Amino acid sequence: MKGFSMGSLALSRPLLVGALLSAGAALGLSDDARAEADSDPIRVGILHSLSGTMAISESTLKDEMLMLIEEQNEHGGLLGRKLEPVVVDPASDWPLFAEQARDLLSGDDRVDVIFGNWTSASRKAVLPVVEELNGLLFYPVQYEGEESSENIFYTGAAPNQQAIPAVEYLREQGVKRWALVGTDYVYPRTTNKILEAWLKDQGVSDDDIMVNYTPFGHSDWQSIVSSIASFGSQGKKTAVISTINGDANVPFYRELANQGISASDIPVMAFSVGEQELTGIDTAPLVGHMAAWNYFMSVDSDANFDFIDSWLAYKDDDSAVTNDPMEAHYIGFNMWLEAVKKAGTPDVDAVKDAIVGVTVPNLSGGGSAMMPNHHITKPVMIGEIQNDGQFSVVWQTPSNIAGDAWSDYLPDSRNLISDWRAPLHCGRLNVSSMTCEDGEPVVSQ
Protein backbone atom coordinates (compact mmCIF):
# COMPACT_ATOMS: atom_id res chain seq x y z
CA MET A 1 0.00 0.00 0.00
CA LYS A 2 1.29 3.40 -0.93
CA GLY A 3 1.79 5.62 2.12
CA PHE A 4 1.66 9.30 2.91
CA SER A 5 3.55 11.28 5.49
CA MET A 6 1.31 13.12 7.91
CA GLY A 7 4.15 15.37 8.97
CA SER A 8 4.04 18.89 7.62
CA LEU A 9 0.65 19.53 6.03
CA ALA A 10 1.20 23.14 4.97
CA LEU A 11 -1.74 24.82 3.31
CA SER A 12 -1.19 25.41 -0.40
CA ARG A 13 -3.25 28.56 -0.93
CA PRO A 14 -3.66 30.50 2.35
CA LEU A 15 -6.83 32.49 2.71
CA LEU A 16 -6.04 36.18 2.33
CA VAL A 17 -8.83 37.67 4.36
CA GLY A 18 -7.69 41.24 3.94
CA ALA A 19 -7.49 40.87 0.18
CA LEU A 20 -10.99 39.44 0.05
CA LEU A 21 -12.35 42.33 2.10
CA SER A 22 -10.59 44.77 -0.19
CA ALA A 23 -12.09 42.99 -3.18
CA GLY A 24 -15.52 43.35 -1.63
CA ALA A 25 -14.95 47.07 -1.23
CA ALA A 26 -13.76 47.35 -4.83
CA LEU A 27 -16.96 45.68 -5.99
CA GLY A 28 -18.92 48.37 -4.22
CA LEU A 29 -20.29 46.16 -1.44
CA SER A 30 -21.38 48.20 1.54
CA ASP A 31 -20.68 47.14 5.08
CA ASP A 32 -24.37 46.31 5.43
CA ALA A 33 -24.32 44.17 2.28
CA ARG A 34 -21.26 42.27 3.48
CA ALA A 35 -22.86 41.77 6.90
CA GLU A 36 -26.01 40.47 5.24
CA ALA A 37 -23.95 38.02 3.15
CA ASP A 38 -22.16 36.82 6.28
CA SER A 39 -25.52 36.11 7.92
CA ASP A 40 -26.98 34.20 4.97
CA PRO A 41 -27.42 30.47 5.53
CA ILE A 42 -24.69 28.10 4.42
CA ARG A 43 -26.43 25.81 1.96
CA VAL A 44 -25.74 22.07 1.93
CA GLY A 45 -26.74 20.09 -1.16
CA ILE A 46 -28.07 16.55 -0.64
CA LEU A 47 -27.80 14.56 -3.87
CA HIS A 48 -29.24 11.11 -3.21
CA SER A 49 -31.77 8.96 -5.07
CA LEU A 50 -35.15 9.00 -3.34
CA SER A 51 -36.75 6.90 -6.07
CA GLY A 52 -35.65 4.22 -8.53
CA THR A 53 -33.50 1.15 -7.99
CA MET A 54 -31.01 2.84 -5.63
CA ALA A 55 -33.59 4.40 -3.31
CA ILE A 56 -33.37 1.32 -1.05
CA SER A 57 -29.85 2.43 -0.15
CA GLU A 58 -29.71 6.19 -0.75
CA SER A 59 -32.89 7.53 0.85
CA THR A 60 -31.51 6.71 4.30
CA LEU A 61 -28.47 8.87 3.62
CA LYS A 62 -30.72 11.83 2.79
CA ASP A 63 -32.48 11.42 6.12
CA GLU A 64 -29.17 11.15 7.96
CA MET A 65 -27.88 14.37 6.41
CA LEU A 66 -31.05 16.18 7.47
CA MET A 67 -30.51 14.88 11.01
CA LEU A 68 -26.88 16.00 11.11
CA ILE A 69 -27.78 19.45 9.78
CA GLU A 70 -30.61 19.79 12.29
CA GLU A 71 -28.28 18.83 15.16
CA GLN A 72 -25.64 21.31 14.01
CA ASN A 73 -28.19 24.10 13.83
CA GLU A 74 -29.34 23.26 17.36
CA HIS A 75 -25.72 23.88 18.42
CA GLY A 76 -25.54 27.29 16.78
CA GLY A 77 -24.94 26.41 13.15
CA LEU A 78 -21.55 27.06 11.56
CA LEU A 79 -19.58 30.32 11.84
CA GLY A 80 -22.69 31.80 13.43
CA ARG A 81 -24.78 30.95 10.36
CA LYS A 82 -27.54 28.40 9.96
CA LEU A 83 -27.09 25.42 7.68
CA GLU A 84 -29.81 25.08 5.06
CA PRO A 85 -30.32 21.72 3.33
CA VAL A 86 -31.19 21.70 -0.37
CA VAL A 87 -32.60 18.26 -1.23
CA VAL A 88 -33.02 16.90 -4.76
CA ASP A 89 -33.95 13.49 -6.17
CA PRO A 90 -31.80 12.29 -9.09
CA ALA A 91 -34.00 9.17 -9.18
CA SER A 92 -31.25 6.59 -9.84
CA ASP A 93 -30.64 8.26 -13.22
CA TRP A 94 -26.94 8.98 -13.77
CA PRO A 95 -27.32 11.90 -16.27
CA LEU A 96 -29.88 13.42 -13.91
CA PHE A 97 -27.28 13.34 -11.14
CA ALA A 98 -25.07 15.55 -13.32
CA GLU A 99 -27.94 17.93 -14.15
CA GLN A 100 -28.97 18.32 -10.54
CA ALA A 101 -25.37 18.78 -9.38
CA ARG A 102 -25.11 21.63 -11.87
CA ASP A 103 -28.33 23.14 -10.56
CA LEU A 104 -27.08 22.85 -6.97
CA LEU A 105 -23.80 24.60 -7.80
CA SER A 106 -25.10 27.31 -10.11
CA GLY A 107 -28.82 27.75 -9.50
CA ASP A 108 -30.73 30.20 -7.33
CA ASP A 109 -30.13 28.07 -4.22
CA ARG A 110 -26.42 27.70 -4.91
CA VAL A 111 -24.89 25.39 -2.32
CA ASP A 112 -21.48 25.54 -0.65
CA VAL A 113 -21.00 21.76 -0.53
CA ILE A 114 -22.69 18.58 -1.77
CA PHE A 115 -23.06 15.32 0.10
CA GLY A 116 -24.24 12.62 -2.23
CA ASN A 117 -24.14 9.83 -4.79
CA TRP A 118 -23.92 6.09 -4.28
CA THR A 119 -22.98 4.32 -7.49
CA SER A 120 -19.72 5.06 -9.25
CA ALA A 121 -21.71 5.62 -12.44
CA SER A 122 -23.46 8.55 -10.78
CA ARG A 123 -20.21 9.86 -9.32
CA LYS A 124 -18.49 9.67 -12.71
CA ALA A 125 -21.38 11.73 -14.13
CA VAL A 126 -21.06 14.35 -11.41
CA LEU A 127 -17.24 14.59 -11.37
CA PRO A 128 -16.79 16.87 -14.42
CA VAL A 129 -19.55 19.13 -13.13
CA VAL A 130 -18.02 19.72 -9.71
CA GLU A 131 -14.62 20.25 -11.32
CA GLU A 132 -15.96 22.72 -13.90
CA LEU A 133 -17.93 24.70 -11.31
CA ASN A 134 -15.38 24.23 -8.52
CA GLY A 135 -17.79 22.54 -6.13
CA LEU A 136 -17.18 20.17 -3.25
CA LEU A 137 -18.58 16.63 -3.22
CA PHE A 138 -18.33 14.30 -0.23
CA TYR A 139 -18.82 10.75 -1.53
CA PRO A 140 -19.73 8.21 1.18
CA VAL A 141 -19.68 4.80 -0.50
CA GLN A 142 -17.07 2.13 -1.15
CA TYR A 143 -15.76 2.42 -4.70
CA GLU A 144 -13.27 1.00 -7.19
CA GLY A 145 -10.48 3.58 -6.85
CA GLU A 146 -8.57 4.57 -10.00
CA GLU A 147 -9.67 8.18 -9.54
CA SER A 148 -8.64 11.30 -7.69
CA SER A 149 -10.26 14.70 -7.96
CA GLU A 150 -9.36 17.93 -6.22
CA ASN A 151 -13.10 18.54 -5.80
CA ILE A 152 -14.16 15.15 -4.39
CA PHE A 153 -13.53 13.75 -0.92
CA TYR A 154 -13.85 9.97 -0.85
CA THR A 155 -15.03 8.98 2.63
CA GLY A 156 -16.09 5.45 1.63
CA ALA A 157 -13.62 2.59 1.22
CA ALA A 158 -11.08 2.29 -1.58
CA PRO A 159 -10.35 -1.31 -2.72
CA ASN A 160 -7.42 -1.64 -0.31
CA GLN A 161 -9.81 -0.76 2.54
CA GLN A 162 -12.45 -3.36 1.66
CA ALA A 163 -12.07 -5.67 -1.36
CA ILE A 164 -8.45 -6.77 -0.94
CA PRO A 165 -8.66 -7.40 2.85
CA ALA A 166 -11.91 -9.34 2.36
CA VAL A 167 -10.40 -11.65 -0.23
CA GLU A 168 -7.27 -12.10 1.89
CA TYR A 169 -9.51 -13.11 4.79
CA LEU A 170 -11.32 -15.72 2.67
CA ARG A 171 -8.05 -17.15 1.37
CA GLU A 172 -6.96 -17.63 4.95
CA GLN A 173 -10.22 -19.55 5.48
CA GLY A 174 -9.24 -21.94 2.68
CA VAL A 175 -11.23 -20.57 -0.27
CA LYS A 176 -9.77 -21.71 -3.61
CA ARG A 177 -12.45 -20.81 -6.19
CA TRP A 178 -13.97 -17.38 -6.71
CA ALA A 179 -17.30 -16.36 -8.23
CA LEU A 180 -17.13 -12.60 -8.84
CA VAL A 181 -20.77 -11.55 -9.25
CA GLY A 182 -21.75 -7.93 -9.73
CA THR A 183 -24.01 -5.32 -11.24
CA ASP A 184 -22.89 -4.23 -14.70
CA TYR A 185 -21.25 -0.85 -14.20
CA VAL A 186 -17.89 0.68 -13.42
CA TYR A 187 -17.54 -0.18 -9.70
CA PRO A 188 -17.98 -3.96 -9.98
CA ARG A 189 -16.01 -4.22 -13.21
CA THR A 190 -13.00 -2.24 -11.97
CA THR A 191 -13.05 -3.82 -8.50
CA ASN A 192 -13.15 -7.30 -10.03
CA LYS A 193 -10.32 -6.38 -12.42
CA ILE A 194 -8.23 -5.48 -9.37
CA LEU A 195 -9.28 -8.66 -7.54
CA GLU A 196 -8.51 -10.87 -10.55
CA ALA A 197 -5.04 -9.35 -10.79
CA TRP A 198 -4.47 -9.86 -7.06
CA LEU A 199 -5.74 -13.46 -7.12
CA LYS A 200 -3.56 -14.35 -10.10
CA ASP A 201 -0.57 -12.83 -8.29
CA GLN A 202 -1.39 -15.32 -5.53
CA GLY A 203 -1.30 -18.22 -7.97
CA VAL A 204 -5.05 -18.64 -8.61
CA SER A 205 -5.72 -19.97 -12.13
CA ASP A 206 -8.23 -18.62 -14.64
CA ASP A 207 -10.26 -21.82 -14.26
CA ASP A 208 -10.85 -21.00 -10.59
CA ILE A 209 -12.33 -17.57 -11.29
CA MET A 210 -15.91 -17.07 -12.51
CA VAL A 211 -17.18 -13.60 -13.44
CA ASN A 212 -20.80 -12.58 -14.04
CA TYR A 213 -22.55 -9.21 -14.43
CA THR A 214 -26.25 -8.35 -14.45
CA PRO A 215 -28.16 -5.08 -15.04
CA PHE A 216 -29.39 -2.81 -12.25
CA GLY A 217 -32.63 -4.12 -10.81
CA HIS A 218 -32.03 -7.68 -12.08
CA SER A 219 -34.60 -10.05 -10.60
CA ASP A 220 -34.33 -13.49 -12.28
CA TRP A 221 -31.38 -15.16 -10.54
CA GLN A 222 -32.29 -18.82 -10.99
CA SER A 223 -29.85 -19.71 -13.78
CA ILE A 224 -27.01 -17.59 -12.37
CA VAL A 225 -27.30 -19.08 -8.89
CA SER A 226 -27.46 -22.54 -10.49
CA SER A 227 -24.19 -21.76 -12.32
CA ILE A 228 -22.61 -20.65 -9.04
CA ALA A 229 -23.70 -23.92 -7.41
CA SER A 230 -22.17 -25.90 -10.28
CA PHE A 231 -18.95 -23.84 -10.13
CA GLY A 232 -18.72 -24.58 -6.40
CA SER A 233 -19.19 -28.33 -6.78
CA GLN A 234 -15.73 -29.09 -8.16
CA GLY A 235 -14.14 -30.19 -4.91
CA LYS A 236 -12.53 -26.85 -4.00
CA LYS A 237 -13.88 -24.47 -1.36
CA THR A 238 -15.71 -21.69 -3.22
CA ALA A 239 -16.90 -18.21 -2.26
CA VAL A 240 -18.98 -15.54 -3.98
CA ILE A 241 -17.60 -12.00 -4.04
CA SER A 242 -20.72 -9.88 -4.49
CA THR A 243 -20.67 -6.37 -5.92
CA ILE A 244 -24.42 -6.51 -6.61
CA ASN A 245 -25.95 -3.10 -5.91
CA GLY A 246 -29.37 -1.83 -4.98
CA ASP A 247 -32.63 -3.75 -4.87
CA ALA A 248 -31.27 -6.64 -6.97
CA ASN A 249 -29.78 -7.99 -3.75
CA VAL A 250 -33.20 -9.04 -2.42
CA PRO A 251 -34.01 -11.61 -5.16
CA PHE A 252 -30.35 -12.73 -5.29
CA TYR A 253 -30.28 -13.77 -1.65
CA ARG A 254 -33.80 -15.19 -1.93
CA GLU A 255 -32.68 -17.43 -4.80
CA LEU A 256 -29.64 -18.63 -2.83
CA ALA A 257 -32.07 -19.77 -0.13
CA ASN A 258 -34.43 -21.31 -2.70
CA GLN A 259 -31.59 -23.44 -4.06
CA GLY A 260 -30.42 -24.40 -0.58
CA ILE A 261 -27.04 -22.67 -0.80
CA SER A 262 -25.91 -21.87 2.73
CA ALA A 263 -22.85 -20.06 4.03
CA SER A 264 -21.28 -23.38 4.95
CA ASP A 265 -21.60 -24.49 1.30
CA ILE A 266 -20.64 -21.35 -0.66
CA PRO A 267 -20.21 -18.24 1.52
CA VAL A 268 -21.05 -14.85 0.02
CA MET A 269 -18.81 -11.88 0.81
CA ALA A 270 -20.77 -8.74 -0.10
CA PHE A 271 -19.35 -5.26 -0.63
CA SER A 272 -22.68 -3.47 -1.10
CA VAL A 273 -24.99 -5.15 1.40
CA GLY A 274 -25.38 -3.67 4.84
CA GLU A 275 -27.96 -3.40 7.55
CA GLN A 276 -30.30 -1.26 5.43
CA GLU A 277 -30.40 -3.75 2.56
CA LEU A 278 -31.05 -6.64 4.95
CA THR A 279 -34.23 -4.99 6.22
CA GLY A 280 -35.93 -6.22 3.05
CA ILE A 281 -34.75 -9.83 3.32
CA ASP A 282 -35.64 -12.83 5.45
CA THR A 283 -32.19 -13.22 6.99
CA ALA A 284 -32.71 -16.63 8.61
CA PRO A 285 -31.37 -18.57 5.55
CA LEU A 286 -28.51 -16.08 5.19
CA VAL A 287 -26.87 -16.55 8.58
CA GLY A 288 -23.11 -16.88 8.15
CA HIS A 289 -22.89 -15.06 4.83
CA MET A 290 -20.59 -12.05 5.15
CA ALA A 291 -19.97 -8.43 4.26
CA ALA A 292 -16.82 -6.33 4.36
CA TRP A 293 -17.19 -2.76 5.57
CA ASN A 294 -15.46 -0.22 7.78
CA TYR A 295 -18.36 0.01 10.23
CA PHE A 296 -21.24 -2.13 11.46
CA MET A 297 -24.18 -1.10 13.60
CA SER A 298 -23.11 -3.76 16.12
CA VAL A 299 -19.76 -2.05 16.83
CA ASP A 300 -19.27 -1.70 20.59
CA SER A 301 -18.33 1.93 21.25
CA ASP A 302 -19.83 4.87 23.10
CA ALA A 303 -19.68 7.01 19.95
CA ASN A 304 -21.69 4.39 18.07
CA PHE A 305 -24.29 4.01 20.83
CA ASP A 306 -24.78 7.79 20.93
CA PHE A 307 -25.18 7.94 17.15
CA ILE A 308 -27.68 5.07 17.14
CA ASP A 309 -29.71 6.73 19.89
CA SER A 310 -29.83 9.96 17.89
CA TRP A 311 -30.85 8.12 14.73
CA LEU A 312 -33.63 6.10 16.38
CA ALA A 313 -34.98 9.26 18.00
CA TYR A 314 -34.82 11.20 14.73
CA LYS A 315 -36.60 8.44 12.81
CA ASP A 316 -39.01 7.80 15.71
CA ASP A 317 -38.55 4.14 14.87
CA ASP A 318 -36.88 1.62 17.18
CA SER A 319 -36.37 -0.73 14.23
CA ALA A 320 -34.32 1.78 12.20
CA VAL A 321 -30.77 0.67 11.36
CA THR A 322 -27.44 2.35 10.71
CA ASN A 323 -24.82 1.26 8.18
CA ASP A 324 -21.36 1.96 6.76
CA PRO A 325 -22.22 4.73 4.26
CA MET A 326 -24.01 6.52 7.10
CA GLU A 327 -20.80 6.47 9.11
CA ALA A 328 -18.92 7.78 6.05
CA HIS A 329 -21.34 10.73 5.80
CA TYR A 330 -21.01 11.29 9.56
CA ILE A 331 -17.21 11.45 9.18
CA GLY A 332 -17.33 13.58 6.02
CA PHE A 333 -19.83 16.05 7.45
CA ASN A 334 -17.74 16.55 10.58
CA MET A 335 -14.55 16.90 8.52
CA TRP A 336 -16.25 19.59 6.42
CA LEU A 337 -17.41 21.40 9.57
CA GLU A 338 -13.89 21.39 11.00
CA ALA A 339 -12.35 22.56 7.72
CA VAL A 340 -14.83 25.45 7.45
CA LYS A 341 -14.08 26.47 11.03
CA LYS A 342 -10.34 26.21 10.35
CA ALA A 343 -10.63 28.29 7.17
CA GLY A 344 -13.08 30.76 8.71
CA THR A 345 -15.23 30.53 5.60
CA PRO A 346 -17.15 27.94 3.52
CA ASP A 347 -15.26 29.17 0.43
CA VAL A 348 -14.43 26.09 -1.65
CA ASP A 349 -10.72 26.78 -2.22
CA ALA A 350 -10.18 27.66 1.43
CA VAL A 351 -11.91 24.47 2.57
CA LYS A 352 -9.90 22.33 0.14
CA ASP A 353 -6.71 23.73 1.64
CA ALA A 354 -7.86 23.43 5.23
CA ILE A 355 -9.25 19.90 5.21
CA VAL A 356 -6.08 17.87 4.54
CA GLY A 357 -4.92 16.53 7.89
CA VAL A 358 -8.24 17.15 9.65
CA THR A 359 -9.01 14.27 12.03
CA VAL A 360 -12.45 13.60 13.50
CA PRO A 361 -13.94 10.77 15.57
CA ASN A 362 -15.38 7.80 13.72
CA LEU A 363 -18.10 5.55 15.16
CA SER A 364 -15.89 2.59 16.03
CA GLY A 365 -14.20 4.48 18.85
CA GLY A 366 -11.18 5.87 17.00
CA GLY A 367 -10.56 8.67 14.57
CA SER A 368 -10.31 9.14 10.82
CA ALA A 369 -7.98 11.57 9.05
CA MET A 370 -8.27 13.21 5.63
CA MET A 371 -5.20 12.30 3.59
CA PRO A 372 -3.49 14.37 0.86
CA ASN A 373 -5.12 12.12 -1.77
CA HIS A 374 -8.61 13.13 -0.51
CA HIS A 375 -9.24 9.66 0.92
CA ILE A 376 -9.50 8.93 4.61
CA THR A 377 -8.09 6.47 7.13
CA LYS A 378 -10.42 3.82 8.54
CA PRO A 379 -10.43 0.28 9.97
CA VAL A 380 -11.58 -2.72 7.89
CA MET A 381 -14.11 -5.19 9.33
CA ILE A 382 -15.64 -8.50 8.27
CA GLY A 383 -19.12 -9.19 9.61
CA GLU A 384 -21.31 -12.30 9.49
CA ILE A 385 -25.08 -11.97 9.02
CA GLN A 386 -27.10 -12.87 12.11
CA ASN A 387 -30.74 -13.94 12.50
CA ASP A 388 -31.76 -10.42 13.53
CA GLY A 389 -30.38 -8.79 10.37
CA GLN A 390 -27.32 -7.45 12.14
CA PHE A 391 -23.67 -8.40 11.60
CA SER A 392 -21.33 -10.01 14.10
CA VAL A 393 -17.80 -8.68 13.57
CA VAL A 394 -15.53 -11.71 13.12
CA TRP A 395 -12.35 -9.93 12.03
CA GLN A 396 -10.91 -6.44 11.77
CA THR A 397 -7.61 -4.75 11.12
CA PRO A 398 -5.62 -3.82 14.22
CA SER A 399 -5.37 -0.19 13.10
CA ASN A 400 -6.64 2.23 10.47
CA ILE A 401 -5.80 1.76 6.79
CA ALA A 402 -5.17 4.78 4.53
CA GLY A 403 -7.17 4.65 1.31
CA ASP A 404 -5.29 4.30 -1.99
CA ALA A 405 -6.60 6.33 -4.91
CA TRP A 406 -4.65 4.12 -7.34
CA SER A 407 -4.32 0.35 -7.07
CA ASP A 408 -0.98 -1.34 -6.55
CA TYR A 409 -2.23 -4.32 -8.60
CA LEU A 410 -2.98 -2.77 -12.00
CA PRO A 411 -0.08 -2.05 -14.38
CA ASP A 412 -1.39 1.36 -15.40
CA SER A 413 -1.71 2.64 -11.84
CA ARG A 414 0.78 0.81 -9.63
CA ASN A 415 3.26 3.70 -9.87
CA LEU A 416 0.65 6.41 -9.32
CA ILE A 417 -0.27 8.33 -6.18
CA SER A 418 -2.35 11.42 -5.57
CA ASP A 419 -1.28 14.43 -3.52
CA TRP A 420 -3.33 17.61 -3.66
CA ARG A 421 -0.96 19.68 -1.51
CA ALA A 422 1.45 22.24 -2.91
CA PRO A 423 3.91 21.97 -4.55
CA LEU A 424 2.79 18.58 -5.98
CA HIS A 425 -0.92 19.36 -6.42
CA CYS A 426 -1.42 16.33 -8.66
CA GLY A 427 -4.03 13.62 -8.86
CA ARG A 428 -1.91 11.28 -11.01
CA LEU A 429 1.65 11.57 -9.81
CA ASN A 430 3.98 8.93 -11.26
CA VAL A 431 6.44 8.23 -8.46
CA SER A 432 8.90 6.60 -10.86
CA SER A 433 9.29 9.58 -13.19
CA MET A 434 7.99 12.21 -10.72
CA THR A 435 5.75 13.60 -13.42
CA CYS A 436 2.12 14.59 -13.27
CA GLU A 437 -0.44 13.58 -15.90
CA ASP A 438 0.70 16.38 -18.22
CA GLY A 439 4.18 14.83 -18.35
CA GLU A 440 5.99 17.75 -16.79
CA PRO A 441 8.28 17.25 -13.78
CA VAL A 442 6.61 18.31 -10.54
CA VAL A 443 9.59 18.03 -8.19
CA SER A 444 13.32 17.94 -8.72
CA GLN A 445 14.94 14.50 -8.52
Please choose, from the candidates 334, 254, 404, 325, the residue with its C-alpha nearest in 3D space to the C-alpha of residue 60: 325
The hierarchical CATH code for the domain 160-293 is: 3.40.50.2300
> Could you tell me the end-to-end alpha-carbon distance of the chain, in angstroms, rounded to an integer?
22
Q: Give CATH 3.40.50.2300 domain extents, the chain.
A: 17-158+302-378, 160-293
The answer to whether the CB of 431 falls within 8 A of the CB of 437 is no
pLDDT, one tens digit for every residue, the chain (445 residues) = 454 333 333 333 333 333 333 344 444 545 444 444 568 999 999 999 999 999 999 999 999 999 999 999 999 999 999 999 999 999 999 999 999 999 999 988 899 999 999 999 999 999 999 999 999 999 999 999 999 999 999 999 999 999 999 999 999 999 999 999 999 999 999 999 999 999 999 999 999 999 999 999 999 999 999 999 999 999 999 999 999 988 899 899 999 999 999 999 999 999 999 998 888 778 888 999 999 999 999 999 999 999 999 999 999 999 999 999 999 999 999 999 999 999 999 999 999 999 999 999 999 999 999 999 999 999 999 999 999 999 999 999 999 999 999 999 999 999 999 999 989 999 999 999 989 975 555 544 3
Question: What's the CATH number of domain 17-158+302-378, 3.40.190.10, 3.90.1300.10, 3.30.420.40, 3.40.50.2300?
Answer: 3.40.50.2300
Whole-prediction pTM value?
0.87
Alpha-carbon gap, residue 213 to 14, rounded angstroms: 47
CB 385 within 8 A of CB 372: no
**Helix 186-201 × helix 120-132 angle, to 10°:** 110
Alpha carbon distance 313, 327 (integer Å): 17
Question: Which residues, at least 6 apart from 420, have a Cβ–Cβ distance to it below 8 Å?
Answer: 12, 148, 150, 352, 356, 372, 373, 374, 426, 427
The dihedral through the CA atoms of 428, 431, 432, 435 has a sign that is positive
CA distance 152 to 145: 12
